[in-house]
Structure 1
Amino acid sequence: MSIANKPLTPTYSLLLFLLVLVNLTASALSAQAQLLPSDTSDSQEVLAPQWAEDSLGRRTPRGTVDGFIKAVAAEDYSKAAHYLNIEKKPRGAKQDGAILAQALQRLLDQRGNIMPYSWISNETSGLAGDNLGPNLDRVGTATYQGETFDLFVEKTEGPEGEPIWQFSSETIQRVPLEPEKVEDLPLTDRLLPTYLKENKWGGVPIGHWLAMVMLAALAYLIAWCITALIMFITRSLWRKAGEEHVTGILKAFALPTRLYLTIWILVASSREAGISIIVRQQFSELNIIILLVALLLLLWRLVDFITRFSEKRLTRRGNSAGISIVLFLRRSAKIAIVVFGIIAILSTFGFDVTTGLAALGIGGIALALGAQKTVENFVGSVTLIADQPIRVGDFCKVGDTVGTVEQIGMRSTRIRTNDRTIVTIPNGEFSSLKIENYTHRDRFWFHPVLGLRYETTPGQIRSILAELKALLLAHPKVSPDPARVRFVELGADSLKLEFFAYVLAKDYNEFLEIQEELILSIMDVIEEAGSGFAFPSQTLYLTRDKGIEKAQTQEAENTELNRSEEDAR
């Protein structure tokens, strides 16, 4: 099933969003820069003039090279001469431009090499940053009389000042005008029978096309033998070559390396054999594509090997959440490889993919906005796998939920509570909650607080404290540091004794067993000391009220009456 036929899921939406995020960011920054105000008083934007299209396609270095190759393929050397800057002809040369064009073709056929078209600039200004100046571009190499030199195209001006790229006068100066002797001719021309040289296709003898195909097959066979020999030597001399992870890496590199060696051998042998530059230039783009395929194939195989190896290890550990993450990353990486390969191949063929990427980015943002929760949950699951605060089988408390983790998925985590119910928490929310994991405790805290009756005397308390501390220190499962018992408080209804110790237990069940044993022993100590545990209680005091004396009441009333009469007088 092809990627184009797959349903558009939130996972694919996320992937598309990630792929175009960088491109969109650059576009946004560029747009923002254009919106910023500029100081027109200090500088003026200079607009490049819009020149009419050149009928020969010489506005760019790539157009010049492509036009020259097509002209010589059609054996139209008068037209090919227009791609040469022949203002300065070679010394003593009386030939016209057509002869020079034919001589340049002969040099390229026998000892020359032209760069693939995708490597040659398709801008009127040429290739920037090549340290050759604004009017000069390198397009290939050639060898004559044992000396190798570069082939250049240079920018000249037409009648109206328009840019025209031509093979530089310096390059034309170094082109040999006389054909080489028969014994010095390339191997292909010397071995081909006459009828394969006389019959042409695309301006080239048919024998050159057949020789190129035979060289490609021979190059692949030689590359296969070289890689097989390297693999055999590696396995024989390196002991670890038989291990699973090393074998997987070697297999991942085998086929891509074979393809790379095939192209390298084909390019070198076709040039040495003197295959026509027209044929070699037709194969140059194919060579670049095969190299890209070799690189993508290597990345694809490495992703397959790494993820499968990780998946096996996670399966042995029972980490189902990690397996889910690995499978998702494998699918995402493979889709990214395919998208990158398509973009690179389209760019090699000369297609402008910038507009397509911008449109893809807008659609990716729209889809990503609709899958915000999916993205949030995925990031949460990655956080859980990376930090590993919990694992499957851990007993923990997440927020208000207490239970055992049963599954950590791509979207959510499932917890089996003590009531045997399943609580599903989205990973985005799960990663932001407070998580308390009880499974990873190395020891358990023993911290009861006991209340003794108030009738217990200080002497009894001292005896009880000594006995209880000795009880803790004598137990083999109680850590001695610390292991203390203290009289801490005169409570409202009891005398408080506080325990502080750690129990060395492997799980919670063992801790409960040891705690039970300790509590029973504490009860025995308190009972033997003649004391007991206090109960929450209140003391009620009852008494009879005698009321107010009548004589005192009468005397107070008389006193108040006499004071009122004196005030009236």
Structure 2
Amino acid sequence: MIKAGKFGILIFLMGFYFSGLKAQTTLKELWDSKYAQNGEEPDLSTPYSTILFFFFHLDEVNYSPEDASKALEIGKNNNIDTEKLAVRLKQIFEGNGIILNFSQIPDDPDFTDSLANNQSKYFFDSRHFPQIYLEKKGEEWKFSSQTVSQIDKLYHETYPYGTGRLLNLLPKLGTQVYFGIHFWQLAGIFILVFLLFLSHKLLTVVLDKGLLYFLQRFGYEYLGEKYLLPVAKVMSIYLIIVFSVLFIRVLQLPAEFVSWLIKILNVAKPLVITIVFYKVADIVSMYFSKLAEKTESNLDDQLVPLLRKSLKTLVIIVGTLFVLKDGLEIDIVPFLTGLSIGGLAFALAAQDTIKNFFGSIMIFIDRPFQVGDWITSGEVDGTVEEVGFRSTRIRTFRNSVMYIPNGKIADATIDNHGLRQYRRFYCTLTITYDTPSDLIETFVLGLRKIVEAHPDTRKDVFNIYFNNLSSYSLDIMFYIFFQVPTWQEELKCRHEILIQIINLANSLGVRFAFPTQTMHMESFPEKKSLAPSQSNDMNFYKARLQEFLDKELTKKET
């Protein structure tokens, strides 16, 4: 591990050396090639000549800010420090890693930019720095007055929070050249690496000890160790990346290397933020999981994993877009436009899938049933096992599995037997015709006592009455409710009640009737007819009726 680290530092320094050597050698060779060999005098007649003139006189060997400032268009404002602005403009180029490819800079006095309405302007980086450009004034190409007015602003944006002061302090450490770079740059690299290492260790200790101690006091130690600490550690890496972006500019390293390094750091920033939100999705899912545990429904328990997967997918998609846009500087507008058109085509082709998706959302919102409920809807009759984003899985009573699209379930009429507060039990008890009325009354009273004594029956509502004379029996309606949550418990209660009814009937001598046929002969020799003798006296029947009524009324009064 240590050898690998040393090898990495060596490669790091060699990159500085060769990139710096290449830049310096190229600049000198270009100057000699244009002026020394051709015997020409330095001028500002073309964009190429102006840029070469400006940077050559700000080179450490030929350092002359006074000459370099001649490439600035100051107009009538003579009260500004042109030498300071020239130095700052070069520092803006170096701090932002703006690479000057002299082979692509036009050497034509009459150059016009077709992207700028064919004006005599030359932009260095119109996408990132449209404020910095050359403009032809008379016969000379100079940095435009607009560029000069924006130098201070761009300088403070490049070196924010006072980091620009280090540009004056660090060179005092020494300007000797080692490995192709100055001593103060080399010292700055080691100071930066040391500070990043120290800050990472410090942040890790603070988060591990401080945050964990704080969470322990409030009883959230598990939450801190499993969820918050990983997020906090990744955030510490993000802070280190931000510090690196700020201070790497101060070292004034070769533009090729700075451009490459800033691009890597710009990719790392949205990537780390994506990782943070990816881990935050676990925290959000855990919070909703705790809320789901407090509810009686099982649907929200099943919704939490789907929510976690959806959040993570969304984070990855958005994070990828930011990496492409901010890190790799890829224009994502055409991609989003194509995605919207493709999304419309996809929606038309997959409308059934989308319908099922929204059907699942409505199931999760309305909650017409939950996992474990017995539901009936048309040909569907079974117990809900799982509710997904596309379909619902139902276990039938034949032990087969049915997969019903959620779009159909959302539109169907559902009879949810699992939401019943009480489970009805209704049957008819048939007893023989020769059962005396007093025995019937006693039997009915005993049935009511059985219901009242059972622990799982509803005591406030039940109906047990002698209510019908059928063709072969006397019928007693037995209508009660069980207060149990499942069908298995309902069957158990039915079993217990029916056993007690049979025991009661055996104890009282009540006989249950069943369909029979009895043959009666109208008359036999020397036998009296079975048909009752009828009287034609109406008063006889009235007397018998009054006798019955008096008897019944006497019973009620007593």
How many Å apart are 1:298 and its aligned residue? Answer: 0.8
How many Å apart are 1:524 and its aligned residue? Answer: 7.1
Of residues 497, 512, 516, the one that matches 1:518 is 497
How many Å apart are 1:296 and its aligned residue? Answer: 1.3
Shift in CA distance, 430/170, structure 1 to aligned 2, threshold 3 Å: closer
Asked if structure 2 preserves the Cα contact closer than 8 Å seen for 1:403 and 1:418, the reply is yes
How many Å apart are 1:454 and its aligned residue? Answer: 8.2
Of residues 201, 218, 234, the one that matches 2:211 is 234
Identical positions, percent: 20
Q: How many angstroms apart in 2 are the aligned matches of 1:69 and 1:308?
A: 59
Asked if structure 2 preserves the Cα contact closer than 8 Å seen for 1:398 and 1:436, the reply is yes
Q: How many angstroms apart in 2 are the aligned matches of 1:70 and 1:381?
A: 67
Tell me the SS of whatever aligns to 1:446.
Answer: strand
Tell me the SS of whatever aligns to 1:413.
Answer: strand
Unaligned runs of 5+ in 1: 1-54, 58-67, 118-122, 125-138, 141-151, 176-182, 200-204, 543-569
Tell me the SS of whatever aligns to 2:177.
Answer: helix
Q: How many angstroms apart in 2 are the aligned matches of 1:70 and 1:251?
A: 52
Q: How many angstroms apart in 2 are the aligned matches of 1:425 and 1:184?
A: 69
Using CA pairs below 8 Å that are at least 6 residues apart, which structure has the higher relative contact order?
1
Bigger mean CA deviation after superposition, 451-460 or 482-491: 451-460
Q: How many angstroms apart in 1 are the aligned matches of 2:445 and 2:306?
A: 62
Letter aligned with residue 336 of structure 1: L
Q: How many angstroms apart in 1 are the aligned matches of 2:195 and 2:442?
A: 96
Shift in CA distance, 211/438, structure 1 to aligned 2, threshold 3 Å: farther
> What residue in structure 1 maps to residue 38 of structure 2?
none
Cα deviations across residues 162-198 of structure 1 (Å, max 9, x unaligned)?
x9833328969x99xxxxxxx998232111342359x
Tell me the SS of whatever aligns to 2:331.
Answer: coil
Tell me the SS of whatever aligns to 1:364.
Answer: helix
Cα deviations across residues 297-334 of structure 1 (Å, max 9, x unaligned)?
2112333566699999999xxx9998986666555544
How many Å apart are 1:335 and its aligned residue? Answer: 4.4
Shift in CA distance, 516/356, structure 1 to aligned 2, threshold 3 Å: closer
Tell me the SS of whatever aligns to 2:277.
Answer: helix
1:165 aligns to 2:146 (yes or no): yes
How many Å apart are 1:88 and its aligned residue? Answer: 1.3
How many Å apart are 1:338 and its aligned residue? Answer: 3.8
Letter aligned with residue 446 of structure 1: F
Q: How many angstroms apart in 2 are the aligned matches of 1:184 and 1:252?
A: 34
Bigger mean CA deviation after superposition, 285-294 or 326-335: 326-335
How many Å apart are 1:253 and its aligned residue? Answer: 2.0
Q: How many angstroms apart in 1 are the aligned matches of 2:268 and 2:174?
A: 28
Question: Following superposition of structure 1 onto structure 2, how do residues 93-492 of structure 1 map, counting pairs within 5 Å?
Answer: 99=83, 101-105=85-89, 165-168=146-149, 186-195=168-177, 210=186, 213-230=189-206, 231-236=208-213, 238-239=215-216, 243-266=221-244, 269=247, 275=252, 282=259, 286-303=264-281, 332-348=310-326, 350-381=329-360, 384=363, 390=369, 393-439=372-418, 441=420, 443-450=422-429, 465-486=444-465
Cα deviations across residues 4-47 of structure 1 (Å, max 9, x unaligned)?
xxxxxxxxxxxxxxxxxxxxxxxxxxxxxxxxxxxxxxxxxxxx
How many Å apart are 1:356 and its aligned residue? Answer: 2.0
Shift in CA distance, 336/71, structure 1 to aligned 2, threshold 3 Å: farther
How many Å apart are 1:452 and its aligned residue? Answer: 6.9
Asked if structure 1 preserves the Cα contact closer than 8 Å seen for 2:375 and 2:417, the reply is yes
Asked if structure 2 preserves the Cα contact closer than 8 Å seen for 1:253 and 1:298, the reply is yes
Unaligned runs of 5+ in 2: 1-45, 59-64, 100-114, 117-127, 139-143, 157-164, 523-558
Bigger mean CA deviation after superposition, 418-427 or 385-394: 385-394
> What residue in structure 2 maps to residue 132 of structure 1?
none
Tell me the SS of whatever aligns to 2:460.
Answer: strand
Q: How many angstroms apart in 1 are the aligned matches of 2:471 and 2:55?
A: 110
Shift in CA distance, 219/290, structure 1 to aligned 2, threshold 3 Å: farther
> What residue in structure 2 maps to residue 508 of structure 1?
487
Shift in CA distance, 306/536, structure 1 to aligned 2, threshold 3 Å: farther
Bigger mean CA deviation after superposition, 293-302 or 402-411: 402-411
- C-alpha root-mean-square deviation of aligned residues, in Å? 5.7
Aligned length: 418
Asked if structure 2 preserves the Cα contact closer than 8 Å seen for 1:73 and 1:278, the reply is no
Cα deviations across residues 202-235 of structure 1 (Å, max 9, x unaligned)?
xxx6557645643542343022112222112333
Asked if structure 1 preserves the Cα contact closer than 8 Å seen for 2:278 and 2:316, the reply is no
> What residue in structure 1 maps to residue 555 of structure 2?
none
TM-score, structure 1 as length reference:
0.55
Tell me the SS of whatever aligns to 1:90.
Answer: coil
Q: How many angstroms apart in 2 are the aligned matches of 1:376 and 1:185?
A: 62
